[in-house]
Amino acid sequence: MPLAKRSDYGDAKYAGASVDFNEDIEKALQAALLCGFDFIVTPLVHPDYRPPNPGRSEGHAPGQLTPPFKRHEVLYLPSSARVSQVVGSVSTWIDPDSENSLLKSQSVTTLKQQIAWAGHLGLQAVLLPAVPQPMKAAHYSQVVQQALNGLTHMAIWLTVPLSAEHHPSSDSNQLLSAPQNGSGALTAVTVQDPWEWWHQFRAMTDYHNLLGCCLEVGATLPPPQQIERWKGEPIKSILLPTKVFSSNKRGYPVLSKAHQELLVMFFKLRVQVIVIGPRLHSIPEQERTVSTSGSASDHDGPPGSQEHRSASRPSNMTLANFIPVAESANGGFTIHNPGEDHELRSYWEYLCFLFRKLEPLPEQDRLEQDYQDYLQAPLQPLQDNLESSTYEVFERDVTKYSQYEEAVYRALMDRVPDAEASTTVTTLMVVGAGRGPLVRSSMSASKRSGRCIKVYAVEKNPNAVVHIQTMINKEGWENQVTLVYADMREWQAPDLADILVSELLGSFGDNELSPECLDGAQRFLKSDGVSIPQSYTSFMAPVTTHKLYNDVKNYKDLDHFETPYVVKFHRHYLLAPTQPVFTFNHPNQADPIDNNRYARLNYHRDPSAGSAALHGFAGYFECQLYKDVTLNTHPPTMTPNMFSWFPIFFPLREPVYVPAGASVEAQIWRCCASHKVWYEWGITAPCAGPVHNICGRSYYVGL
């Protein structure tokens, strides 16, 4: 039973529970499901199981003939009906990198054995224990890579402590006494940062798309800037030990404010939670039967508190018969649900409480969910004619067209004094008019300002032109709006324009060739004429995005690594704040006009944020339509409720390890040739790499 019926946070609504090894796992699973959990995590083999010590007198490959498991030693599922509700966990005693050769050999054997068994059962995922020795898990990761090599759908999840002090073998002296040779090999910094353990492990497994991680939360949390890094990583679950909870005054398990915020952050990333460990918080018997109405005043929101109850049920209910209203089988209140006796029930209820408290996702975000972290090729509107439905989607962006209307309104007000309002006719040309939305915005601005305008609507798509004609006829604008079927770069205008209005921007500002189009159109702009937009600037930041890197890699060719994509980033982390890249101003007074650009961007990272992985660059723009009327996708200044543009993603061919405190230096070019425009990009720090898309060999925009 999910934490709530709401679906706006995706998989985050599912919660799992760890269950001890159990010969009758179906029963244990049933109990957990009845309690409210959606799946369980349970050991693949009995904790006492050890593979036999190889002792044959001859042979090349110890472990090859490991005898089969016995029924009682192993997680046994009589039917495959339940496999999607069980995650198998590998024995936590393993240490494939141990100096002890017996332990090492048994670890390797059983790791292979257990993954193979999970695969045999058809489980969807296997949970691996955390690396026993920080930064010394080469052998562990090699065995896992070997296993991954043979897998097609079962995922492997590595447990990673969020903080080094919660590492099983943790001994801060040991960690601190790690060799500090300044070599980058095993410094105290890397040994104490579990992100480094994860990174080493996944780099050795070649960023395999079936390898994910489960972050185990401890009692104390690392600083926020270190937690941020995980947003771009493939986190499959949060492991939440019962010991991390404290008790509220009535004995119910509750989380600290910081832990609550952490969970909320991961809920928003659609990460599910797994409660691990035994019940440590026992609710006094009287509490379970006595009404608590009005007696609670804590505001950290444990189940049974005022805040909690009022959010989800009548305050005169007892906790004992509390099950979330929405999921109640008969739509009302049950008298007794056997799931309430489950030892982890109060933890599950707390998760329900936290999850239900999340503010509802805005409508627009909900609509865009399907596009999150999904690669799209940028449009080429200059080369290709758009379909009607594409125009239609963009026309729905009310915010954007309001801004255009406002920009035209201000320009009209500035250019025409009140005294001349009725006599002066302003010539306005909409270049790239599409189906006409900017004509409509301009006409509204004209009406609102009381300034007369004469509009030329220039459009090169013969199909779109039909819609404009319809609009003109329907609105009765025949005397004011002239429809021109032409390419703005070639049209011989009969008149000069006061205002040139266009909407040619792409996700990276200039990437749909707005500069080239407007340079071609400014021939028919008066010398004191105004272009709307007046200018635009692209912005870029280094980004971690494991998901997108893997999606690009999945194409298995160079071309896809040398193509920028339009992407709604979700699971991502910016390694440093954005920096401005290229700016274009219109009309462009330069002679000759040169739309080639080059930028060298040095991103300094906060050393306390730790190391991070770099998969490429996220790009945005800021556009000045007219004076302070703007359209911005750049996060710090983003125009609210505007959805016409997703950001852009420039991938790198190989993930780059960025050590703590290191800078990222990016180089990016906008290159122009007679029939195409393209970007080239590369990095020169923390280490130099190849320039991508040289000569536009993999990607370009046709002129």
- Please state, in angstroms and as integers, the Cα–Cα distance from residue 27 to each residue in 22, 33, 123, 360, following that order: 9, 10, 17, 36
Between 441 and 595, name the residue whose CB sits nearer to its own copies: 595
For residues 233 and 680, which CB has a smaller minimum distance to its own copies in the complex? 680
Contact 650, 667 (CB under 8 A): no
CB of 125 to its own copies, least distance (A): 21
Report in angstroms how near the CB of residue 70 gets to its own copies at its nearest. Answer: 23
Task: Output 234 or 437, the one with its CB closest to its own copies.
Answer: 234
Distance of CA 267 to the CA centre of its chain: 12
| Known catalytic residue at 478 | no
Distance separating alpha carbons of residues 98 and 111, to the nearest angstrom: 14
Q: Are 673 and 533 in contact (CB under 8 A)?
A: no
In the complex, the smallest distance separating the C-beta of residue 11 from its own copies, rounded to whole angstroms, is: 29
Site string for its own copies, 172-191 (x = CB under 8 A): ---------xxxxxx-----
Site string for its own copies, 130-149 (x = CB under 8 A): -----xx-xx-xx--xx--x
The annotation places the binding site at 391, 400-401, 459, 487-488
Q: Which stretch binds its own copies (CB under 8 A): 197-205, 467-475, 626-634, 640-648?
A: 197-205
End-to-end Cα, the chain, rounded Å: 55
Q: Which residue in 593, 635, 638, 698 binds its own copies (CB under 8 A)?
A: 593
- Tell the smallest beta-carbon distance from residue 198 to its own copies (Å): 10
Choosing from 293, 316, 364, 596, the residue that interacts with its own copies (CB under 8 A) is 596
Cα gap 266→358, rounded to integer Å:
12
Tell me, residue by residue from 514 to 533, as one string, x for binding to its own copies by CB under 8 A and - for no binding. Answer: --x--x--------------
Report in angstroms how near the CB of residue 61 gets to its own copies at its nearest.
5
Q: Is 580 in the site for its own copies (CB under 8 A)?
A: no
Contacts of 298 (CB under 8 A, 6+ apart): 248, 249, 254, 305, 306, 307
Query: What tokens were used for 11?
Result: 């998989």
Check residue 690 for interaction with its own copies (CB under 8 A). Answer: yes
Angle at 218 between CA 216 and CA 221, to 5 degrees: 110
Q: Which is nearer to its own copies, 431 or 660 (CB)?
A: 660
Which range binds its own copies by CB under 8 A, 68-76, 246-254, 372-380, 685-693? 685-693
199 binds its own copies (CB under 8 A): yes
Cβ–Cβ under 8 Å, residues 540 and 581: yes
> Max alpha carbon distance in the chain (Å)?
107
Judged by CB under 8 A, the residue of 47, 52, 64, 422 near its own copies is 64
User: Closest CB to its own copies among 10 and 62?
Assistant: 62
- Smallest gap from Cβ 238 to its own copies, in A, equals 24
β pairing state of 664-672 and 676-685: antiparallel
Q: Which is nearer to its own copies, 138 or 265 (CB)?
A: 138
Count Cβ atoms below 10 Å from residue 451 Cβ, excluding itself: 24
Give the one residue of 598, 608, 627, 641 binding its own copies; rule: CB under 8 A: 598
Numbered residues of the known binding site for S-adenosyl-L-methionine: 391, 400-401, 459, 487-488
Query: Is there a catalytic annotation at residue 512?
Result: yes
Residue closer to its own copies (CB basis): 182 or 640: 182
591 binds its own copies (CB under 8 A): yes
- Tell whether residue 203 is a contact of its own copies (CB under 8 A): yes
Minimum distance from CB of 515 to its own copies (Å)?
Answer: 9
Asked if residue 683 lies in contact with residue 651, where contact means CB atoms within 8 angstroms, the answer is no
Among residues 106, 226, 595, 624, the one that binds its own copies under rule CB under 8 A:
595
CB contact set of 232 (below 8 Å; sequence gap of 6+): 543, 544, 545, 546, 571, 572, 573, 612, 613, 615
Candidate residues 163, 192, 205, 507; the one interacting with its own copies per rule CB under 8 A: 205
Residue 55 or 294 with smaller CB distance to its own copies:
55
| Residue closer to its own copies (CB basis): 207 or 391 | 207
Spatial distance between the Cα atoms of 474 and 638, rounded to a whole number of angstroms? 35
Cross-strand bridge partners of residue 508: none
Question: C-beta of 658: minimal distance to its own copies in Å?
Answer: 9
Residues 316-355 contacting its own copies, CB under 8 A: none
Show contacts with its own copies in window 80-109 (CB under 8 A): 105
Quick one: which segment of 202-210, 289-297, 348-356, 422-430 binds its own copies (CB under 8 A)?
Answer: 202-210
What is the helix (H) or strand (E) element at residue 235, kind and residue range? strand 235-241
Cis check for the bond before 686: say yes or no (omega within 30 of 0).
yes
If one asks whether residue 120 binds its own copies (CB under 8 A), the answer comes out as no
Tokens of 396: 């729905």
Site for its own copies in 641-680 (CB under 8 A): 654, 657, 659, 661-663, 665, 667, 669, 672-674, 677, 680
Number of residues in contact with its own copies under rule CB under 8 A: 74
Record the tokens describing residue 494, joined without a space. 């009969």
Residue 233 lies near its own copies (rule: CB under 8 A): no
Angstrom distance (rounded) from CA 459 to CA 330: 60
Residue 462: phi and psi, rounded to 5, are -60, -25
Round to whole Å and give the CA distance between 352 and 13.
8
Rounded to a whole number of angstroms, the minimum distance from the CB of residue 166 to its own copies is 22
Cβ–Cβ under 8 Å, residues 213 and 157 = yes
Check if the beta carbon of residue 391 is closer than 8 Å to that of residue 464: yes
Q: How far is the CB of 140 from its own copies (least distance, A)?
A: 11
**Residue 133: half-sphere exposure toward Cβ, Cα within 13 Å:** 15
Alpha helices in 122-229 (DSSP H): 138-149, 172-176, 188-191, 194-204, 224-228
Site for its own copies in 366-385 (CB under 8 A): none
- Catalytic-labelled residue, pool 233, 406, 512, 562: 512
The residues that bridge with 649 in the sheet, in sequence order, are: 565, 618
Window 535-574: contact mask with its own copies (x via CB under 8 A):
----------------------------------------
Residue number with CB closer to its own copies (380 or 667): 667
Read off φ and ψ for residue 656, nearest 5 degrees: -115, 130
Residues 24-63 that bind its own copies (CB under 8 A): 54-62
From the list 262-270, 407-415, 463-471, 682-690, the region that binds its own copies by CB under 8 A is: 682-690
Interface with its own copies, residue 150, by CB under 8 A: yes
Least CB distance to its own copies at residue 150 (A): 7
Q: Alpha-carbon distance 110 to 52, whole Å?
A: 10
Q: Which residue has the tokens 């999840």?
A: 157
Q: Is 697 in the site for its own copies (CB under 8 A)?
A: yes
Dist CA 130 CA 122 (whole Å): 23
Parallel, antiparallel or unpaired: strands 597-603 and 535-544: unpaired
- Annotated catalytic residue, options 340, 503, 665, 680: 503
Which lies closer to its own copies via its Cβ, residue 142 or residue 170? Answer: 142
Measuring CA to CA, which residue among 443, 445, 476 is closest to residue 457?
443
Residues 6+ apart with CB under 8 A from 138: 97, 200, 204
Among positions 387-446, residues that touch its own copies (CB under 8 A) are none
DSSP 47-58: TT--PPPP--SS
β-strand 125-128 against 155-161: which pairing, if any? parallel
Q: Least distance from C-beta 126 to its own copies, angstroms?
A: 18
User: So which residues are the catalytic ones?
Assistant: 503, 512
